[in-house]
Amino acid sequence: MKLFYTAYIFVMLLPELLLTQTITGKLVDQDGVGVPNLQVALYMNPSVYNATTDTAGNFTFTKLITETKTEVLPAGYDVSANYPNPFNPRTRIDITLPNAGKVRIELFNVAGQQVRDVMEKTLAAGKNYVDIELNGLPNGFYIARITLGEKHVLYKKLMLLYGSQHLKTTANIKAEAGIQKPKALAGVNIDRITASGGIYLVQTFTGLPQYTGTSLDLGNLTMTNISGTPCPGVPTVSYAGKTYHTVQIGTQCWLQENLDVGTMIPGKSDQTNDSTIQKYCYNDSVANCIKYGGLYQWAEAVQYKNGATNNTVPNPEFTGNIQGICPSGWHIPNDTELQTLVKTADNDGNVLKAIGQGTYSQAGNNESGFSAFLASYRYTNGAFIGFGDKTFFWGTLEYGTATVYVLMIYNVYSGIEIDATGTKACGLSVRCVRD
């Protein structure tokens, strides 16, 4: 009884071990710093796998196995599960055909490697069966791709486990698939990996190592294909421990990322006029600040200049550039600068949206390099609203005592709006423009 129990546990754990084989790597910028939240695609014939880089730029592809849904067969066709399963080393599949026809069986391991020559045979109408033998191959899961009459394709998972039940052959076997010697398990070629998102256009990596069915670490892959043109002489700006890229848009030089400076406080709290810059992160998550930048109440963004608060106007009123929380030599855009940005983009929000932002015909193409994320905002009651749906950028032109003209970009609308709807007590994004 004890021996049976031990074998059962082994059978249950083996699939999990097989399916944890991975391909990992890290996407970094030209300074070797990990790039978070990029969309990564792995092309390994016949499959495509997708992942997203974490906050450090790491990506992981797991369960590297073709999970194609089995086709629903029309009347007169039937393909059984293989039996026995698990098996050692031969198993059988019953196949019923309405008319005589060709059957093709291809066998793969979980890495996508073909482990047997293609088996083809013409079967008679009615019930037939084929025997599949995997003698000499290691324990584990295998995939049988079964094609009936060049029209219908099904996938069956087979589990080879030495010491399990063996199929007993009899004299009335109608059809036995041609059993081939195991093919040499050469590595599977990784056709390419593509990555994009944020300020980066689609970048393709080729010439990668072969995947042999075991875990593979690709190391660092450097992203260089940045949207837009860096500002002359100022490709990057280092500020408060972070590096920001720059982009020249018409006559203006902008930071290419939302500002992310300060200490996070809960969304339910108001930011205060003290010696520390404070920020909100969407849903109170630091990871969201890393990707989308911080969110700031207006008075905090302008650093309370001239006595500015979220319910009174500065005294005296603002003139010239307002640095606020921006780096030295940069400032929060005024209304004229926002209007110029909109005009340069031809009022097309898709031109300003980062790759991966927006949907369908309103998906961002980031032709400008502005790389706007739909970072949403923090409402006056502390709630975070509209994630992935819209974004707002502070300006400095006030409308009354409690609102400001802000730049607005949307998920499903291609226009760009500048409107006096920015309630000062909300938490919005800050994008700095050069003096």
- Reported as a single tens digit per residue, the pLDDT across 75-84 is 888 999 888 8
d(CA 290, CA 281): 9
Two structure tokens written together for 132: 């599949």
Q: How confident is the model at residue 311 (pLDDT cuts 50, 70, 90)?
A: very high
Rg value, the chain, Cα: 30
d(CA 281, CA 231): 28
- Rounded to whole angstroms, the maximal C-alpha distance in the chain is 102
For 109-159, write each residue's pLDDT tens digit: 766 677 888 888 889 999 998 888 888 888 888 888 888 887 788 888 888
pLDDT at 200 over 50: yes
Q: Identify the CA nearest to 59 among candidates 31, 22, 105.
A: 22
pLDDT at 55 over 90: no
Residue ranges of the chain assigned to CATH 2.60.40.10: 18-66+188-222
d(CA 183, CA 74): 34
d(CA 318, CA 308): 9
What's the CATH code, domain 18-66+188-222?
2.60.40.10
* pLDDT value of position 187: 61
DSSP code per residue over 98-115: SS-EEEEEEEEETTS-B-
* pLDDT value of position 316: 95
pLDDT at 12 over 60: no
- What are the residues whose beta carbons fall under 8 Å from the beta carbon of 417, sequence distance 6 or more? 407, 408
Backbone angles phi, psi at 363, to 5 degrees: -70, 140
88: helix, strand or coil: coil
Contact present, 22 and 60 (Cβ < 8 Å): yes
338: helix, strand or coil: helix
Determine how many CB atoms are found less than 10 A away from the CB of residue 174.
Answer: 12
Contact present, 392 and 422 (Cβ < 8 Å): yes
Looking at residue 196, the DSSP 8-state letter turns out to be E
User: 317-326: long-range contacts at Cβ-Cβ below 8 A with a sequence spacing of 24 or more?
Assistant: 318/396, 321/435, 322/396, 324/430, 325/259, 325/261, 325/262, 325/277, 325/296, 325/300, 325/301, 325/430, 326/259, 326/430, 326/432
Helix, strand, coil abundance in the chain, percent, nearest 5: 10, 40, 50
Average pLDDT in the chain? 85
For 221-247, write each residue's pLDDT tens digit: 999 888 899 999 999 999 999 999 999
Element containing residue 286 per DSSP (H, E): helix 286-292
* pLDDT value of position 17: 33
Angle, alpha carbons 241-195-388 (nearest 5°) = 70
78-160 belongs to CATH 3.30.70.1140: no
Q: How confident is the model at residue 413 (pLDDT cuts 50, 70, 90)?
A: confident
Half-sphere exposure in the Cβ direction for 77 (13 Å, CA): 16
d(CA 161, CA 159): 6
Lowest mean pLDDT among 58-67, 362-371, 394-403, 410-419: 58-67
- Write the CA distances from 404 to 42, 344, 401, 426, integer angstroms: 45, 22, 9, 11
Rounded to two decimals, what is the model's pTM?
0.64
* pLDDT value of position 435: 97
Residue ranges of the chain assigned to CATH 2.60.40.1930: 78-160
Q: Which residue in this structure is represented by tokens 């009347």?
A: 75
Q: In b/e form, how buried is each residue of 417-429, taking b as 16+ CB within 10 angstroms?
A: bbeeebbbbbbbb
Q: How confident is the model at residue 11 (pLDDT cuts 50, 70, 90)?
A: very low
DSSP code per residue over 47-64: EEEEEE--TTSEEEE---
For 352-398, write each residue's pLDDT tens digit: 999 888 888 888 889 999 999 999 999 999 999 988 899 999 999 99
339: helix, strand or coil: helix
- The region that residue 2 occupies, defined by phi over 0 for left and psi between -120 and 50 for alpha, beta otherwise, is alpha
Q: How confident is the model at residue 201 (pLDDT cuts 50, 70, 90)?
A: confident
- Write the CA distances from 293 to 5, 201, 345, 393, integer angstroms: 54, 20, 22, 11
